[in-house]
């Protein structure tokens, strides 16, 4: 399964509220959700919760699940994409600044309610120049995972590693994206001030470059929930 993250922001002159409303109620419904290769699809709209290392500009992130490489290629060749979703983007998004991260996902803590709409903390990171990619990934899977799973109120935890193809001609902007899911905004506010969160940050910094760690907080909205396709 390919787990794709698409961070997007509003076109010039469009408010964050109008951008989010258009994405959720027009683009997602009338265009993106009609691409049959998309197995699951949600949009997490930005919540104004103060956090360190905040990712600037973006007002929403789409999470898209595709079965494999073949279906991803097919999705980009469909009329629903070429004549629908793609042509609609300039109406609402600053598409030239869109950040797309294709990942191989590893779910390290699964929720009992996979279709729940969580409040999420997304952490994007890049390894240090003196850290090998395998070493960076191993740290996330082992010592960092143990720190993350100690966070109070954590309902679901996923790491998406940038796919191998992204390294074929250079370096992707980020090596990994973590997704921490909580029941409410209050739970996120509480965890961001906790000792456990500071310990999780410290464990990430053992192999990640502090210049390229960014956080984004969003509220889930399912468009194509698990089990619908």
pLDDT tens sequence across 86-104 = 999 999 999 999 999 999 9
**Measured distance CA(161)–CA(175) in Å, rounded:** 6
User: What's the pLDDT at 116?
Assistant: 96
Report pTM.
0.97
pLDDT for residue 169 is more than 90: no
- Asked, for residue 132, whether it belongs to a domain, the answer is yes
Among 21, 18, 20, 26, which Cα is nearest to 8's?
20
User: What's the pLDDT at 88?
Assistant: 98
pLDDT for residue 205 is more than 90: yes
70: containing domain: 2-224
Please give the average per-residue pLDDT across 195-205, as a whole number: 97
The domain that holds 50 is classified in CATH as 3.30.70.100
pLDDT for residue 114 is more than 90: no
Structure tokens at 75: 């999705």
Structure tokens at 108: 């390290």
Structure tokens at 109: 């803590």
- Asked, for residue 229, whether it belongs to a domain, the answer is no
- Count the helix, strand and coil residues of the chain and give each as a percent rounded to the nearest 5: 35, 30, 35
How many domains are contained in the chain?
1
Q: Is the Cβ–Cβ distance between 34 and 80 less than 8 Å?
A: yes
Position 155 confidence tier, pLDDT thresholds 50, 70, 90:
very high
- Asked, for residue 124, whether it belongs to a domain, the answer is yes
């Amino acid at each position: 399964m390919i787990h794709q993250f698409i961070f997007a922001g509003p076109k010039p002159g469009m408010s964050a509220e109008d951008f989010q409303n258009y994405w959720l109620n027009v683009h997602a419904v009338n265009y993106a959700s009609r691409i049959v290769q998309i197995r699951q699809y949600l949009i997490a709209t930005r919540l104004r919760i103060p956090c360190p290392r905040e990712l600037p500009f973006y007002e929403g992130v789409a999470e898209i699940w595709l079965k494999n490489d073949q279906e991803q290629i097919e999705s980009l060749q469909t009329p629903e994409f070429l004549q629908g979703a793609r042509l609609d983007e300039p109406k609402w998004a600053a598409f030239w600044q869109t950040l797309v991260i294709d990942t191989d996902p590893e779910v390290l803590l699964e929720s009992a309610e996979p279709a729940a709409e969580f409040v999420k903390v997304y952490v994007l990171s890049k390894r240090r120049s003196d850290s090998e990619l395998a070493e960076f990934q191993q740290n996330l899977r082992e010592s960092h995972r143990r720190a993350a799973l100690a966070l109070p109120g954590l309902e679901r935890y996923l790491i998406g590693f940038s796919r191998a193809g992204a390294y074929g001609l250079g370096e992707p902007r980020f090596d990994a994206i973590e997704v921490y899911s909580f029941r409410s905004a209050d739970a996120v506010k509480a965890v961001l001030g906790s000792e456990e969160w500071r310990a999780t940050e410290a464990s990430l910094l053992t192999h990640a470059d502090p210049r390229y760690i960014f956080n984004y907080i969003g509220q889930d909205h399912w468009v194509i929930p698990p089990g619908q396709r």
